[in-house]
Amino acid sequence: MHPSPIRSRLSGAASLGLAVSLTAGLVSACATGNEAGGGGGTAGVTGTTVRVGGVLTVTSATGYSTGGARLGAKARFDRANAEGGVHGRTIEFIGVEDDGMTPDKGAAAARKLVQKEKVFAVLPVSAPQFGGAEFLEQQKVPWLGWATGPFWCGKQSAFGFNGCLAPKPGQGTQTWWGHQVAAQLGGAKGRTAWVQATDSTASKYALQTIGKSFTAAGFALAGTSAALPAQAPPQDWSPYVNKIMKSAGGKAPDVVVSVMAGGKFNSGLYAALKKAGYKGLITDATSYDPKVLADPQTREALDGVYAAPQFEPYESDAPDVTRMKDDLRRAGVTQFDQHAATGYWSADVFLKMLEKTGKDLTREKFFAATQDFGYENKGFGRIRFPSGKTESNGCGALVRLQGDRFTIAQNLKCFANTPL
């Protein structure tokens, strides 16, 4: 390259000054680029915005979907932005990536959000087989959502609005589900429970935690099983149902608890149980979903089932719930499902964390501020960190499908955890 006439006339001192200036600018640009690529304190933050995006299981082979969490988070961010944001910054919510309930896709989604989209934090995250946890922990990128698997627990970067549902042995695990079912039955004394899972990491781990919830509430375990394949429900349910129907000393248990993710799994199991003459209480964590009302066969299978959401149900008139429903309607939500609520409360907790962090927002300061963080309301109960990284928030409700509508069986309550 030939030197320009202007540069050729520069004095030696001026040339040196220009070189120093260019070098400083290059160093600054590289530093900014490296910081934005992941692990840097100000990635995704400007003087007026905070950039975030999430990872959900929008589609899956089993029919399970947490896609409603996107609009739930958007609804909460929309209200925050209308009120002026947090410390003068609005939330730039870029939407969500679909992991398809596949760990590799979840890992790729997390990398895309951090390295290409340059988000400050990843939320909402609601994916039973999320594969991006280790990457986000390595990059020191905060992520928030519905903590349904062991990959949430014990990580600096992970914040479940409901705490950690898969604690390690010796740490606190929830008892609320067992206690709420016991309250519905008028007590657990002399009653038995069976816990059904699929052969997936999160579902199998739940056999321990949910089993402990029911024994802590006074139930005797009739048995547990993770024999069902995780990718698709069986064509013939009879081997599984026959085992359940004889699990309590040759008779059916009083309670069947499903910790399976997927409407096809639950509706298939429940229909088969009812066909076999099962008369006990059935409960799960996922069937509180208005979509089940649209399909007569699914509605019949789930009729009478008690779902166990970790928030105060939409049917409640509590002020925090009323405000959530108003926000969701403004965001275009016409069907209220539990995923919209988990997205909403995840965003709500994040906003409270931003408030506590202050105007000078970096990831380092965010993590420092959340080392001692507590928040509660009537909508989702309570959360505290750092304890929420190793144990559940201890809160949940029961909702029953009756015909063509859901009714509250037990309002949201919080119970003390018990060592796993």
Show the domains of the chain with their CATH numbers.
Answer: 49-169+317-386 (3.40.50.2300), 172-313+400-419 (3.40.50.2300)
Any idea what DSSP says for residue 264? H
Please give the structure tokens belonging to residue 394.
């201890």
- What are the beta bridge partners of residue 407? 400
Question: What SS3 class is residue 82?
Answer: helix
pLDDT tens-place values along the chain, 420 residues long: 444 333 333 334 333 343 333 333 333 333 333 333 333 447 999 999 999 999 999 999 878 899 999 999 999 999 999 999 999 999 999 999 999 999 999 999 999 999 999 999 999 999 989 999 999 999 999 999 999 888 999 999 999 999 998 888 999 999 999 999 999 999 999 999 999 999 887 788 889 999 999 999 999 999 999 999 888 889 999 999 999 999 999 999 999 999 987 678 999 999 999 999 999 999 999 889 888 888 899 999 999 999 999 999 999 999 999 999 999 999 999 889 999 999 999 999 999 999 999 999 999 999 999 999 999 999 999 999 999 999 999 999 999 999 989 999 999 999 999 999
Q: Which pTM was predicted? A: 0.84
Nearest to 142 by CA among 349, 343, 344: 349
Q: Which long-range contacts (CB under 8 A, 24 or more apart) does 291-295 make?
A: 291/263, 291/335, 291/337, 292/263, 292/267, 292/401, 293/404, 293/405
Burial class (CB in 10 A: 0-12, 13-18, 19+), 225: middle
Residue reference for tokens 């248990």: 253
Cα R_g (the chain), whole angstroms? 25
